[in-house]
Amino acid sequence: MSLRPTLETRQATPTMEGAGVKLHRAFGFKDPSEMDPFLLFDDFRNELPADFELGFPWHPHRGIETITYVLSGSVEHGDSLGNTGTLSAGDVQWMTAGRGIMHQEMPQGNGDGQMHGFQLWGNLPGSLKMTDPRYQDVSGVEIPEVFDDDGTRVKVIVGKFWGKRGPVDGIAADPQYLDIYVPPGIQKTFRIDTYRRAFAYVFDGRATFVDASGPSGVLLEKEVAGREVNIRDMSGNRTLIRFGTGDEVTLQAGPEGVRFLLISGAPIEEPVAWHGPIVMNTQEELMQAFTELQNGTFIKPAH
């Protein structure tokens, strides 16, 4: 077994999307190979309805999958195929845009006017970019949760973990998407298949992520990229940790415990031509998509 090194840590940065939704972006719209097969990760956490209530009106997607996970509040959604629904606290929606879909997402706060959720974009390989759109809407009660004797809790949204399998399936990137809580002071190791790219996103509490240990278990403090030590203390203030190659991630929770997402997937390793919500393999395919948007042929009629 080998611990995954911590290649980079970064704070999610404030940005605005949709009709004026304030959110924090951990990555996206830069180097698409960095997190391959994932393209973008947003944390929409707001205390004031004015910061999210204008939502994300009608917009297109092609060539990607969007994964929305709601922790607090709800999201009303609709699309060009006539689908409508509401994602409530604990629910997940995995949308495969495929050849193209128009949809909208309108966040609604909880009883205190608060909203919190995440959206992850996953790339599709060229062979599936023009597949028919589909949804996997998953109620929170359908998501298995496993418990360890030390109080660690893991919600298995996608993939298999500790003998449980998440309800979302058939995803091109073969992802694993876990929502993990580790109690105060507990050291825990989580296994990730070596072939996957992986990152963690700490959104509550603190933890120390460990890169490597010597033969006697002594923690090593080697520099990474010439500037950062291998033992890092992460705050819960929207911190992304990007891991290198290995098959284990080890951390020790801080005095208030830690809650984080641990997400991994198989790299697609294909060319990316990307503009806004449309991600193709070539510039020609990208231009074709926008031409279809202009001439009204972007959406395949529903049968």
What pLDDT score does 220 carry?
35
What pLDDT score does 302 carry?
55
Strands across the sheet containing 101-108 = 56-61, 101-108, 74-79, 84-87
The DSSP 8-state label assigned to residue 168 in this structure reads B
Distance from C-alpha of 278 to C-alpha of 290, rounded to nearest angstrom: 9
What pLDDT score does 122 carry?
94
* Residue ranges, the chain, pLDDT below 70: 170, 212-236, 301-303
What pLDDT score does 217 carry?
36
Distance from C-alpha of 27 to C-alpha of 119, rounded to nearest angstrom: 11
Q: Angle CA(29)–CA(42)–CA(143) in degrees, nearest 5?
A: 130
CATH 3.30.70.20 given to domain 6-265 = no
What pLDDT score does 81 carry?
84
What pLDDT score does 213 carry?
43
Distance from C-alpha of 86 to C-alpha of 302, rounded to nearest angstrom: 21
For residue 248 the two structure tokens come to: 């284990």
What pLDDT score does 216 carry?
33
- For residue 278, count CB atoms less than 10 angstroms from its CB and return exposed for 0-12, middle for 13-18, buried for 19 or more: buried
What pLDDT score does 301 carry?
62
In this structure, the number of other CB atoms found within 10 A of the CB of residue 295 comes to: 8
What pLDDT score does 93 carry?
93
Residues 155-206: tens digit of each pLDDT = 999 999 999 999 887 677 788 999 999 999 999 999 999 999 999 999 999 9
Residues 273-295: tens digit of each pLDDT = 999 999 999 999 999 999 999 99
- Is 225 in contact with 292 (CB distance < 8 Å)? no
For residue 171 the two structure tokens come to: 């995803």
- Is 91 in contact with 116 (CB distance < 8 Å)? no
Beta bridge partners of 280: 273
Nearest to 12 by CA among 49, 47, 41, 51: 41
Distance from C-alpha of 91 to C-alpha of 141, rounded to nearest angstrom: 8
What pLDDT score does 232 carry?
53
What pLDDT score does 142 carry?
95
Q: What is the pTM of this model?
A: 0.90
What pLDDT score does 1 carry?
74
What pLDDT score does 230 carry?
37
Q: What's the full length of the chain, in residues?
A: 303
Instruction: Please tell me whether residue 57 adopts helix, strand or coil conformation.
Output: strand
- For residue 218, count CB atoms less than 10 angstroms from its CB and return exposed for 0-12, middle for 13-18, buried for 19 or more: exposed
The residue assigned the tokens 């009883």 is 111
